[in-house]
Amino acid sequence: MNRSLPNVRMDRPARRPAASVTLVLFLVCSVAAFSQPTSQPGPLEEVGFDQRLGESVPLDADFVDERGERVTLGDFFGERPVIMALVYYECPMLCTMVLNGLTSSLRTLEFNPGEEFEVVIVSFDTRETPAEALAARSTHVSRYDRPGTEAGWHFLTGGEDSVQRLTQSLGFRYVWVPESDQFAHAAGILALTPEGQIARYFYGIEYAPRDVRLGLVEAADNQIGSLVDQVLLYCFHYDPVVGKYSVVAMNILRIAAAVTVLALGSFLILQWRRDRRRRTLAAGA
């Protein structure tokens, strides 16, 4: 059971530096937080990602966007796959690293937010406000620096019920640490289908652009992407344990064999045509 704060909006006291909690957060983000029984002490016992691949998020859950308007999660689904991250905007370190890693990865993709996919960032701190969501959105949209894509970025806040429903559906476990006035939580992003089903987890604070692209292509059921993506998906397979795409050696060997046969066949046909041309010229001489 997650232990979070009551659904009360209040001014947050100044956060005290806490080296021990910072260390906990870095330990969490450096491990693929695929839930396993653990004997780790303290907050780590309650922090992680329990994979829910194929399950659905609560599309009817109510949130407030960065403009202060009430929305439901389903408003951002239906047409395109979604990249989602769970953070809190006043996080002193880890959440900024998650968002920076996400933004850096997306900058290398040809896909555009609002066209091929949507970006939905949700705060799991129920005290946070649209003003904090707007500030975070401004920072990362500016960092992304691709004019015309702003409408594809959404930063949300919500009440206790909606936040709990979403985090539990995603298997995202976190805990409030009173001693440091911070949350201990896992780090990662997710790809979801247009229907709101969980397709892929990517762990940590850096996300390989190839993995994110392939995750979006699969989440979209191949409705986006190119022939090259289809070849890559044949050669690379998503490994849920590590949250990355890994090489399928046998498939690569099959492609190499097919290319070799094709090249050899083309060479033999070319040689046959040359010989035939020579024989024709010799017969007419």
Q: In this structure, what token pair is assigned to residue 103?
A: 């933004």
* 21 has a pLDDT exceeding 60: no
* Banded model confidence at residue 255, pLDDT cuts 50, 70, 90: very low
Q: Is the dihedral of CA 37, 40, 44, 46 positive or negative?
A: positive
- Spatial distance between the Cα atoms of 22 and 184, rounded to a whole number of angstroms: 9
Looking at domain 19-223, does it have CATH number 3.40.30.10?
Answer: yes
Q: What is the pLDDT of residues 119-128, one digit of tens each?
A: 999 999 999 9
- As a whole number, mean pLDDT of residues 16-36 equals 42
How confident is the model at residue 134, as a pLDDT? 98
Q: Do 57 and 73 meet the contact criterion of CB atoms below 8 Å apart?
A: yes
| CB-based contacts of 54, cutoff 8 Å, min separation 6 | 197, 198
- Spatial distance between the Cα atoms of 248 and 231, rounded to a whole number of angstroms: 12
Q: What is the pLDDT of residues 185-210, one digit of tens each?
A: 999 999 999 999 999 999 999 999 99
Q: What is the pLDDT of residues 70-94, one digit of tens each?
A: 999 999 999 999 999 999 999 988 9
